[in-house]
Structure 1
Amino acid sequence: MRFDHAGIATDDAAGLAELYADLFDAPVAHEEEFDGLRVVFLELGEGYFELLEPIEDGTIARYLDANGPGLHHLALATEDVAAALDAVRDHGVDLIDEEPRPGAWGHDVAFLHPKSTGGALIEFVEH
């Protein structure tokens, strides 16, 4: 596995994308509306920032209401999300997603429960 992206919850993906482009020379690699979100991926060489702006009520809207903007999750790229889930399941890790599901940018994804990962929400992503 390797680091893929950091997901950042925000109320203003366009404004944050502009700021990060100026600060970090991070161009937009991909944009879409997906699952009630405006999603913007900014390229950072070996990984991405994924900006998550809710456009309707849902998980990220509730996260912002409870916590404000900021780091939401870390994502690790894997060749096989289902096999990665089996491996962490064998270590007793609780899962949010028992099976891979469709994610942004056409990737398959699955999330591990933060109570099993030291408080960090971890996503597996298969390109």
Structure 2
Amino acid sequence: MQFDHAGVATRDADALAELFGQLFDAPEVHREEFDGMTVVFLELDGGYFELLEPHADGAIARYLDSTGPGLHHFALATEDIESALDTARAAGVELIDEEPRPGAWGHQVAFLHPKSTGGVLVEFVEH
């Protein structure tokens, strides 16, 4: 596996994209409306920032209400998401997603529960 992206919850994806673009020379490479959110990917050398701005009630809106803006999750790319989930199960990790599901940019994704991963929400992503 390798680092894929850091998901950042924000109330203003456009402003944060502009700031990160200037600070980190991270150009916008993908934008879509997905699952009640604007999702913006900024390219870095070796990964992405994924900016998540909710427009409807959902996980990111609830996260912002309870925690405020900031790092939401980090994602690891895998060639075989089913195998990655099997490895997590075998290690006793609680899964949020028992099976992969459609994610942004057409990828398959699955999340591991932060209770089992040191308080960090981890996403597996298969391109």
TM-score, normalising length: structure 2:
0.99
Alignment-derived partner of residue 126 in structure 1 = 126
Instruction: Give the paired residue count.
Output: 127
Offset of residue 112 of structure 1: 0.2
5+ unaligned residues in a row in structure 2: which ranges? none
Q: Give the deviation of 1:59 after TM superposition.
A: 0.6
After superposition, residues 43-82 of structure 1 pair within 5 angstroms as: 43-82=43-82
Residue pairs, 1:28-107, within 5 angstroms: 28-107=28-107
Q: For 1:67 and 1:97, how far apart are their aligned partners in 2? A: 22
Cα offset, 1:73, TM superposition? 0.1
Question: Is 2:15 aligned against 1:18?
Answer: no
Give, in angstroms, the shift of residue 74 of structure 1.
0.5
Shift of 1:103: 0.1
What do the CA deviations read for 1:90-110 (whole angstroms, capped 9, x no partner)?
010000000000000000000
CA shift at 1:33, angstroms?
0.3
Show the counterpart of 2:27.
Answer: 27
Q: Structure 1 length as normaliser, TM-score? A: 0.99
CA RMSD, 1 decimal: 0.4
Q: Which residue of 1 aligns with 2:5?
A: 5
Percent identity (aligned)? 75
